[in-house]
Structure 1
Amino acid sequence: MSDDSTKIAEDRNLISLAEAYEVRDWTQSLNCTEDELRAAVKAVGHSAQAVRSYLANR
């Protein structure tokens, strides 16, 4: 979720924890807490697909 509109497609596939609004948007989208999101990213990396799978199997 970037401020650069030319990189939107890339950003849908990567989870960034750098900005509060991005963390908020991802936690809402993935229906998880910030702690769960951070743990998932730490476990499987920044790939949105990998994080979704990780959270689905929690």
Structure 2
Amino acid sequence: MPDDKTKRAPLDNKRIDVDDPAEVRNWCKSFGCSAAELKKAVSEVGTSAAAVKQHLGK
């Protein structure tokens, strides 16, 4: 994630960083899921945004 916190899009839009609250909010909004659902999906399928999206059925 960039040092400039005013940038809202993920730096790498192919990977999900669940340790960055701003990224978690953005991915949750994008996938229409809760933070807990996102984190669970990442723990099950990894940090690939495509894999998480498929896992969530979005």
**TM-score over 0.5 for the alignment?**
yes
Structure 2 alignment gaps of length 5 or more? 4-8
Give the share of equivalent positions with the same residue, in percent.
38
- Deviation track 1:3-50 (CA, whole Å, cap 9, x = no partner) reads 17xxx8x71100011111111001001100001000000000000000
* TM-score, with structure 1 as normaliser: 0.80
* Structure 2 SS opposite 1:21: helix
RMSD over equivalenced CA pairs, Å? 2.2
Partner of 1:51: 52
Q: Which runs of 4+ in 1 moved over 6 A?
A: none
Structure 1 alignment gaps of length 5 or more? none
Partner of 1:23: 24
Equivalent pairs, count? 53
Within-5 A mapping of 1:32-47: 32-47=33-48
Partner of 1:3: 2
Q: Which has the higher helix share?
A: 1
